[in-house]
Amino acid sequence: MARRLRCDVGFADSLLFLLGWTVLVVITFGLASPFFLFSLIKFMINRTIIVEE
């Protein structure tokens, strides 16, 4: 039985995510930018599913 990972991220989801973080970084004068990478990883993991064939 083969298992694969599939990420269900749509264009609108990723666009809103990036726009939200851009606004957050601008508002906090860049203080939120170190946390962007962790949030991006969490965003992708939360939308990843295991597909069994």
As for how many domains the chain has, the answer is 1
In this prediction the pTM is 0.82
pLDDT of residue 15: 97
19: amino acid identity, one letter? L
Range of the domain at 27: 3-52
Q: Per residue in 24-36, is it b (16+ CB within 10 Å) or e — as a string? A: eeeeeeeebeeee
pLDDT of residue 1: 77
pLDDT of residue 19: 98
Q: Using one digit for the tens of pLDDT, what is the confidence trace for 1-53? A: 789 999 999 999 999 999 999 999 999 999 999 999 999 999 999 999 999 98
pLDDT of residue 17: 97
Which of 50, 46, 20, 25 minimizes the C-alpha distance to 35? 25
